[in-house]
Amino acid sequence: MKHNQEHECECGHEHHDKDCHCGHDHAHDCSHDDCGCGDPGCDCEGEDEDKEHLHQPSKYDAALAKYETNLDDAAVTQAVDAIIEARVAENNTEEVKKRILSCLDLTSLRTTDTEEDILHMVERVNRFDDAHPDLPCVAAVCTYPNFSHLVSQSLEADKVEVAAVSGGFPSSQTFTEVKVAETAMALHEGATEIDIVMAVGKFLDGNYEDLCDEIDELKSLCGEKLLKVILETGLLRSAANVKRASILAMYSGADFIKTSTGKDGSAATPEAAYVMCQAIKEYHEQTGRMVGFKAAGGIRSVHDALVYYSIVKELLGTEWLTPRYFRIGASSLANALVSDIVGEDMHCF
């Protein structure tokens, strides 16, 4: 093993590297410096042991090794097409649409949102709950964290949660300390569910330790309140990466894994949903822990919703088809569902 060392040299460089042209040979054999035996003349195996230690797989690699992550994108697309062809039509029923409505996170995440906008949205949820006792209400109202107090104080509909995006949404590009503070404030202000974005840059860089530690810290902060981790699947480039990200998020404590923010051109896809549900199924088989699935980003039509419902039902079963384990994040979808159920154009939300 060679390394450069500080020494006296007429060239004037205190620390030498490959760019020094003084003519001196600054590299020396220091293979015994780090072996720990204390004998400069020894021929022990210290260096080999150090190298072996450095190449030991991490606990994150060990966790991923339990699952098949080398997926074929074309095979995933083929499997999704088969589910859509076989199941969507049979799931196109009033009962299913009511169930999807009950699993909806009614969302407003616009840069232009005002307190008045959010209050009107909450009031529409309250009115719907009173005016349509025969229909289920949405699962949650989802906003930016600074509106959590307003939503929690004005929401009257039974069993509707107060969800807040947090943790540097939508990019996740900020300090962990800022993410912790923002999440703590949202919870203090009345949020009962938190949606964060996985640090996609860390994932793509292979920095699984920092990625997972951050999710774990935010989940510890949430306690019994649900933490949904957004994978931003449109930026992950392959089905294999979607599978790995899903496993790491669940391993780190996510209560839900979620497709997308709907920002930055990223939207949910049936293919990503299929891989995520496959990961949830395998994780449940390995650990016994049920993790929820949330689709979000670009889901506007009843047909879109039926596609995601069908994938969840096919891979995970009816046990997952409740607000505790299945969500769709959307805004206009709520009115489309109600209109389909009652048979006339409705603008309840």
CA pair distance 268, 262, nearest whole angstrom: 8
Exposed (0-12), middle (13-18) or buried (19+): which is 305, by Cβ within 10 Å? Answer: buried
Long-range pairs of 165-168 with CB within 8 A, sequence gap ≥ 24: 165/109, 165/194, 165/195, 165/196, 165/261, 166/191, 166/194, 166/195, 166/196, 166/218, 167/194, 167/196, 167/197, 167/218, 168/197
For the question of residue 258 being annotated catalytic, the response is yes
CA pair distance 333, 262, nearest whole angstrom: 14
Q: How many CB atoms lie within 10 A of CB 29?
A: 9
DSSP SS3 for 278: helix
For the question of residue 228 being annotated catalytic, the response is no
Residue with tokens 């999807």, as numbered in its chain:
100
The torsion angle over the Cα atoms of residues 276, 277, 280 and 284, rounded to 10 degrees, is -160
For the question of residue 294 being annotated catalytic, the response is yes
| CA 174 centroid distance within chain | 16
**Which listed residue (105, 195, 255, 340) is catalytic?**
195
**Which listed residue (179, 219, 228, 294) is catalytic?**
294
Q: Which two tokens stand for residue 104?
A: 């909806």
Q: Facing residues of 256 across strands? A: 228, 292
**Which listed residue (219, 225, 243, 258) is catalytic?**
258
Closest by CA position to 195, among listed 275, 261, 147: 261
Catalytic residues: 195, 258, 294
